[in-house]
Amino acid sequence: MATRGSARPNGLAQTKICQFKLVLLGDMAVGKSSLVLRFVKGQFDEFQETTIGAAFLAQSVCLDDTTVKFEIWDTAGQERYHSLAPMYYRGAQAAIVVFDITKPETFERAKAWVKELQRQASPNIVIALAGNKSDLAEKRMVEYEEAQTYAEDTGLLFMETSAKTAMNVNELFLAIGKHSHERKLHLTQFKSASQTC
């Protein structure tokens, strides 16, 4: 956490910058890269190519007086890349675990990712569950309530998203930024009352 500009003669509020490492996990083709592409570039590609290894992108959002900079690791969902995942979630402050609402097996896979994160990632990691492809309502196989109940019971943020229509994509990243920021403040206050972020 850095603070930009100490003295502000013009009286404007200081802008704090918080940097968070965020990782996206989930089965192949659930739309991880598409969510990142939508969030970072505002675009969608019907023919998005499968990710090899992982991809890195960065994007910032503003929360009140704080700029939250996400360093995003978009991992590959193919099983053969599973062993690389710890490299990306290690030290991450936030994770988005994605499933496809039209494919129940991807919801089961998401639950396995959540378990792995809870066992092996940082104990303070903020985990969000994204039920993606909500635009394909007629093909829905995972009910909203089912995922919502699971998320509540497990202590996760939950949103249904559509990288295609942009529904809830910015909202999801904003909610994660807010939670990560609050958690960081809380932890810092716990460690030392004199630090701010």
Q: Tell me if 132 contacts Mg ion by CB under 5 A.
A: no
Which of residues 33 and 93 has its CB atom nearest to Mg ion in the complex? 33
Which of residues 37 and 151 has its CB atom nearest to ligand GTP in the complex? 37
Q: Which residue has the tokens 């990560």?
A: 180
Stretch that binds ligand GTP, among 73-81, 105-113, 172-180, 182-190 (CB under 6 A): 73-81
User: What are the distances in angstroms from CA 166 to CA 42, 63, 195?
Assistant: 8, 20, 37
Exposure of 113 in the CB half-sphere (CA atoms within 13 A) = 32
Dihedral of CA atoms 189, 65, 16, 97 in degrees, nearest 10, equals: 80
Q: Tell me if 106 contacts Mg ion by CB under 5 A.
A: no
The single residue among 5, 10, 46, 80 that binds ligand GTP, judged by CB under 6 A, is 46
The single residue among 20, 37, 51, 100 that binds Mg ion, judged by CB under 5 A, is 51
Dihedral of CA atoms 114, 116, 121, 125 in degrees, nearest 10, equals: 10
Q: Which 142-171 residues touch ligand GTP, going by CB under 6 A?
A: 162-164
